[in-house]
Amino acid sequence: MGTKERRKREIEEMRLEIIEAAVQLFVTDGYENVSMRKIAQQIDYSATAIYKYFANKEEILIHLLKHGYAIFLTCLKEGVANCKSSHPGERLNALLYAYIDFGLKHPEYYRLIFVENLHQLQKVMTEEDDRVRGFVLLTEMVMAAMNEGVLKKHDAHMAAQSLWASLHGITSLLITFPDFHWHEKEGFIDFQVNAMIKGLT
Amino acid sequence: MGTKERRKREIEEMRLEIIEAAVQLFVTDGYENVSMRKIAQQIDYSATAIYKYFANKEEILIHLLKHGYAIFLTCLKEGVANCKSSHPGERLNALLYAYIDFGLKHPEYYRLIFVENLHQLQKVMTEEDDRVRGFVLLTEMVMAAMNEGVLKKHDAHMAAQSLWASLHGITSLLITFPDFHWHEKEGFIDFQVNAMIKGLT
DNA sequence: TTATTTTTGTTAACACTGTTAATCTATATT
DNA sequence: AATATAGATTAACAGTGTTAACAAAAATAA
C-alpha cells in the first residue's frame, strides 16, 4: 500500500508550505521579522507544529539561504550568458558585473547570505553540483582569462579570492551603507571593476 | 553649593560604569550576549535602573561603536606613524595595511562597526574632529599620492571609495568566513593590497 | 473490525529579550 | 520639619525560540 509514500509526500508539502511562508515574510518584512510564531500564523498552524517538520529555526534559515543562493547562481549564469562575446576577458567582466547586480537587485538576500550568514555557506552548498558553485565559476573564468593573456599569470585561486573580496566590498558597502555620499553608482561600479581587472593585469 | 555639580559627576560616573560593563561583556562574550539584564547584573543594579542613564539599548550600542571607532582611528594613525618613509605611496600603503590589521586584531569591533552597524556610523562620528575621520584620512592620502604621481589622477574621492571597498571586502571576508580555504593570509593580503594600488596606477 | 501503537497538532510553560508603569525610598529644596 | 524631586526596585507586557504534557487522528496489529 502506498500510504507510506503519500505521507512522505504530505510531509514534503508541509515543509514546502512552511518555507514558502518564511520566504514571503522574509522578502516583505525582512529577516529580523521572521519568527516561528509569525510563520505559523501565516499557514494557520500553531508555532510548535513547525518543530515536527524542522528541528529549529536555523534549519528554516538554511532553506532561505539555499533559496537565495539559487537566485544568486541564476543571476551569475544569466549575466555571463547575456554576454555575446566569447572573449574570456569580456566574459569575466560580465561575471563581475552580474555579482554586483545580484546584490543591488536582491539586497535582502545578499545581506542574508554574504553579510550575516557567510559561515553557513558550506551547509547551503553541500548538495549543489560542484561545477555551478559561485567561487568555482569565478576561478574557472579567471583561469581562462589568464590562459588568453587577459590577466597576468598569478595563482588563479588567489586572484579569484582577490576579485571576490573586492566585489564583496563594493556590493556590501553599497547595500549596508546606502546613505553614504557615494560617487554616482554606475560610474563607481565601472571604476571599481576596471581597477580590479587592471590590478591583475 | 556644588551639590548639583557633584550629582552631574555622579551621573557621568554611573554612565561610565554601565558602558564599561557593556564593553567587558562585549569583548568576552560577543555582542549577541550583551543584554540589559546582564549589564545590570555586572554592576549590581536592577535592569531598569539603566534606563535612568540611557534611553535604550541602542544608546549603549552607540557607545560601544564609539569605543571601537576610537581604537580603529588609533590603529590607522599608528600604522602610518610607524611608516618611516615620507613618500606618499609608502604612507598610503601603510594605511591600507593598518586598516586590515585593525580588522584582524579586533574582529569583534570590526564586525560590530563595519558589518553590523555601518548605518549608524554618522551617529558615531558626529562629535569627532573632521580631520581624523577614517575616510577623510584615506582621501587625503590618496590625494597626496596622486599629486606625487604615485597614483593616476582620477577623482580622488572615487579612488578612495574604491580602496575602502576593496579593503572592507578582504577584511570582512577573512573575519566572517575564517573557515574558507583562503590562500595563506599574509600572502593574500599582500596580493590584494598590491592589486588595489596597481588598479589605480 | 477492533485494539493498540504511532504520529500530528495543540496548549501551557520555561527562560530569555527590551521596555514601561507603579511604587517605595532616599535625597534635595522650601 | 514638611514637601517635592530624583533614584532604584519590583511587577508586568509583549515579544522571542523551544520543550513538555497531552489530546486527537491516523496507521498498524490482532
The model's pLDDT over A4-36, given as tens digits with 9 standing for 90+, comes to 777 788 899 999 999 999 999 999 999 999 999
What is the CATH number for A28? 1.10.10.60
Torsion on CA atoms B140, B155, B97, B107, rounded to nearest 10? 100
- The separation, in Å, between residue A55 CA and nucleotide D24 C1' comes to 23
Per the CB < 8 A criterion, the answer to whether A105 and A68 are in contact is no
Query: Among candidates B85, B82, B72, which has minimal Cα distance to B167?
Result: B72
Q: Is B173 left (phi over 0), alpha (psi -120 to 50) or beta?
A: alpha
Question: Domain tally for chain B?
Answer: 2
Give dist(CA B7, CA B10) in Å, integer. Answer: 5
Say yes or no: Cβ of A6 under 7 A from any atom of strand C. no
In which domain, by residue range, is B119 found? 64-199
Chain B residues within an 8 Å CB radius of A154: 191
Whether B137 and B194 share a structural domain:
yes
Does residue B170 lie in a domain region? yes
Does residue A33 lie in a domain region? yes
Whether B82 and B50 share a structural domain:
no
What is the CATH number for B103? 1.10.357.10
Query: Among candidates B102, B96, B94, which has minimal Cα distance to B75?
Result: B102
Find the closest chain B residue to A187 by CA distance: B158
| DSSP conformational letter for B133 | S
Q: Strand C contacts (CB < 7 A) among B residues 20-49?
A: 34-38, 47-48
| A1: pLDDT strictly greater than 60 | no
The alpha carbon dihedral of B128, B132, B138, B143 has a sign of: positive
Q: How many Å separate Cα B133 from the centre of its chain?
A: 10
Whether B84 and B129 share a structural domain:
yes
| B18: pLDDT strictly greater than 50 | yes
Whether A98 and A127 share a structural domain:
yes
Give dist(CA B195, CA A195) in Å, integer. Answer: 8
Does residue A59 lie in a domain region? no
pLDDT at B101: 98
Does residue B2 lie in a domain region? yes
Whether B74 and B7 share a structural domain:
no
Does residue B183 lie in a domain region? yes
CB-nearest partner of A169 from B165, B176, B188: B165
Whether A117 and A184 share a structural domain:
yes
Whether B32 and B76 share a structural domain:
no
Whether B158 and B90 share a structural domain:
yes
Whether A82 and A174 share a structural domain:
yes
pLDDT at B6: 75
Whether A47 and A108 share a structural domain:
no
Does residue A23 lie in a domain region? yes
- pLDDT tens for residues A78-135? 999 999 999 999 999 999 999 999 999 999 999 999 999 999 998 888 766 666 688 9
| B127: pLDDT strictly greater than 70 | no
pLDDT at A130: 64
Whether B169 and B87 share a structural domain:
yes
Whether B6 and B68 share a structural domain:
no
Does residue A12 lie in a domain region? yes
Does residue B59 lie in a domain region? no
Residue that is written with C-alpha cell 535592569 in the block: B47
Domain boundary among A20, A36, A54: A54
Q: Which long-range contacts (C-beta less than 8 Å, at least 24 apart) are formed by A157-162?
A: A157/B183, A158/B183, A158/B187, A158/B188, A158/B191, A159/A200, A159/B191, A160/A135, A161/B182, A161/B183, A161/B188, A162/A196, A162/A199, A162/A200, A162/B170, A162/B188, A162/B191, A162/B192, A162/B195
Residue that is written with C-alpha cell 549575466 in the block: A79
pLDDT at B164: 98
| Across A60-81, average pLDDT | 96
Query: Among candidates B152, B169, B194, B163, which has minimal Cα distance to A152?
Result: B194
